[in-house]
Amino acid sequence: MALPPDRPDFTDLATPSDHKALKRLADMDISHSIPSDDGSQKRGPSGAVIGALIAPGSPSFFRHKVLSAGLLLLGFVIPIATVAVALIRRHQITSLVLDKNFLVALQIIAVLFVVTRLISVIEVIRSRSEGSPRRLASWLGVIGVILLAVPAVWSVARARDLSGVITDVFVTAGSDEPLAATGNLSPTGDGFKTILLLGGDEGPGRWALRTDTMILVTIHEESGRIAMVSIPRNMYKMQFPPGSAMANEFPKGFPDLANAIYPYVFTHPDVAATYARGDLQPEAIALASAISYSMNITIDDYVLVNMQGFLEIVDALGGVTMTLDKKIPMPGNVPGAKTQYPAFIGPGEVTMDGTTALGFARSRKGDSDYGRMGRQRQLLTALAGQVSGSDILLRFPDLTEIMRWTVRTSLSASEFSSLVDRLRSGATIQESIGLIPPLVKTGNPNFADISNLIDALQASIRDNVKFPYG
């Protein structure tokens, strides 16, 4: 139908560009009129990516509920729960970090922590339309995932290293039998666990050492009370169980110092072969059997420490503070020394680094071998009481590397960690003695008297009474 001649025709005024502009305006009106089914749309692409990095799956909850729930569980809830468990069990942190199952779980959680965020970021970006906001979100997602992956990869690497340390340090006999048993229960021997602590002056990876430090750590399992018994390095005539290779070699007792038993067995492979038990050091087995048989005490396990490594351990733990009641002259040289110390330390409060602590434990200038045995027990007691769970956790990367070449033990990782946690949590080191004159004649010891002395010591910590010879 034709328009009236007096009515203007505007058809020719509408150009193609006008149609496009009107269409965009209409699209904008529609987008504002329809409610969003995804709360992340209101934040924009960059905000949604940040949400995916913090709590994976949360930006896409209304689009993919099952996927989002899985990502939240694996990438957010489980890692938070793991941190909570670590905080709750912070007093048993050594048990956690030396648990291989926990280390495997930690590695899996670290991988899931990164993978869930990567999936969530990709889902958010793919749900967006093309354009510069999407490109910005993509770059933000890439950078965020990389930043989160760095600590996760570090955690996996450290957990794998620690698993290797556990394998190297915690050697096994292949059974749960005591390291050395006499077959004759002492009056108080039942209910005690006894660990032989050995220390020598050799360096990294060298185990043919003279055991200048020999300490029996005996623990009353019901109460947790602890006693330490120092065995002099110069004790003669150590006895061996009848029928053993060393008893056949030395039927009248070992004709040298007690600290020479370990290197003797090391340099005689035929003798060492008779003491082989799984992956344990046969030299430590031979020495433990001599102490056990001579003193009529069951020895359950051993811990062997290179003393240069002890220096490194004290440094890694941040040192140790002791109050000395007299001036102690320091030795002229300490293997592996890192710092210089004064000619004397004390009296009063002294904070020692590893070098000073090792010098304090080795010094004989002011007294004798017997005096330094007492200082070694004092040092171990102070160190055990001052190390906290956070110290162990924060310094564990350094400690693990030191332990790899410093420590060997027949304790399992769980037994070792339980012992450390018990010492650190304040288990009472009730008594400590040295088998020294006048209690013991080290040149010609009466082992029956020594056995009675140890029985009396165990009875005192069992009954929580003062030991008369402390």
User: For each of the chain's 470 residues, which pLDDT tens digit applies?
Assistant: 444 555 555 444 444 445 555 454 444 443 343 344 444 444 566 788 888 899 998 888 888 889 989 999 999 999 999 888 877 776 666 677 777 888 888 899 999 999 999 999 988 888 766 555 677 878 888 898 999 999 899 888 888 888 887 888 887 776 778 888 875 555 455 789 999 999 876 654 444 578 888 999 898 888 888 888 989 988 999 999 999 999 999 999 999 999 999 999 999 999 999 999 988 989 999 999 999 999 999 999 999 888 777 888 888 888 899 998 888 888 876 666 778 888 888 899 999 998 888 888 878 765 666 677 778 878 877 887 777 656 666 677 777 778 887 888 898 887 887 777 666 555 566 677 889 888 899 999 999 999 999 999 999 888 888 887 75
Q: In the 3-class helix/strand/coil scheme, how is 322-375 assigned residue by residue?
A: EEECCCEECCCCCCCCCCCCCCEECCEEEEECHHHHHHHHHCCCCCCHHHHHHH
Question: Measuring CA to CA, how many Å separate 466 from each of 224, 226, 257, 397, 440?
Answer: 16, 13, 32, 40, 20
CA 415 → CA 87, 91, 418, 420, distances in Å? Answer: 21, 15, 5, 9
| Cα–Cα dist 210/45, whole Å | 68
Q: Containing H/E element for 282?
A: helix 282-295
Instruction: Check residue 28 and give its pLDDT.
Output: 44
Of 197, 395, 414, 190, nearest to 288 by C-alpha is 197
Superfamily for domain range 192-463: LCP protein (3.40.630.190)
Give pLDDT, residue 393: 62
What per-residue confidence (pLDDT) applies to 37? 44
Beta carbons within 8 Å of 412's beta carbon, 6+ residues apart: 170, 172
* H helix or E strand, kind and range, residue 199: strand 192-200
Report which of 402, 409, 418, 414 is spatially closest to residue 100, judged by C-alpha positions.
414
What is the domain partition of the chain in residue ranges? Answer: 43-169, 192-463
Question: What pLDDT score does 316 carry?
Answer: 85
> Shortest CA distance to 155 belongs to which of 110, 199, 200, 212?
110
DSSP reduced 3-state for 166 = helix
**Cβ distance 270 to 264 under 8 Å?**
no
Which pLDDT score, from 0 to 100, does residue 125 have? 83
Q: What is the pLDDT of residue 423?
A: 63
pLDDT at 266: 92
What pLDDT is attached to residue 40? 42
Model confidence pTM above 0.75: no
Between CA 340 and CA 348 the distance in angstroms is: 20
